[in-house]
Amino acid sequence: MCLSDGQKAHLVGKGGEYNNFFTTEPLVGSAVRIRLADYYADIVCNSKCDPEIWHWVVQRDGSADILKWGQERDRGASELAAKTYLQSLVDAYKPRLIKGS
């Protein structure tokens, strides 16, 4: 795609306006949902373990498929791991400049 001076490319995600910022929603108990574009990660705590374990599960809106999951020792590490993976999914769809064009 070639743009003339003054034109801007505008990316649109499947579900509407493309955004590149995280939003969070509280879930039951201490759980939270983090969203980025068309993807989300649910962060939940298993407090029955000693020490407790925080699980994170990444899915795409409208799909039951699990794209990635993991577990961490604290909420902060779990949120960071989930956000890092969500960002990698979105980054895969960003346009790349081709050398020499």
What's the Cα-to-Cα distance from 68 to each of 32, 57, 75, 94, 99, rounded to whole Å?
Answer: 16, 6, 17, 20, 32
Tell whether the model's pLDDT for residue 5 goes beyond 50.
no
Tell whether the model's pLDDT for residue 84 goes beyond 70.
yes
Categorize the per-residue pLDDT at 89 as very low, low, confident or very high, splitting at 50, 70 and 90.
very high
The pLDDT of residue 39 is 96
Give the domain ranges of the chain. 14-91
Cα separation, 12 vs 8, whole angstroms: 13
Categorize the per-residue pLDDT at 8 as very low, low, confident or very high, splitting at 50, 70 and 90.
very low
* Residue 66 amino acid letter: I
pLDDT digits (tens, 9 = 90+) for 17-39: 445 699 989 898 889 999 999 99
Residue 40 Cα to chain centre, angstroms? 5
The pLDDT of residue 74 is 94
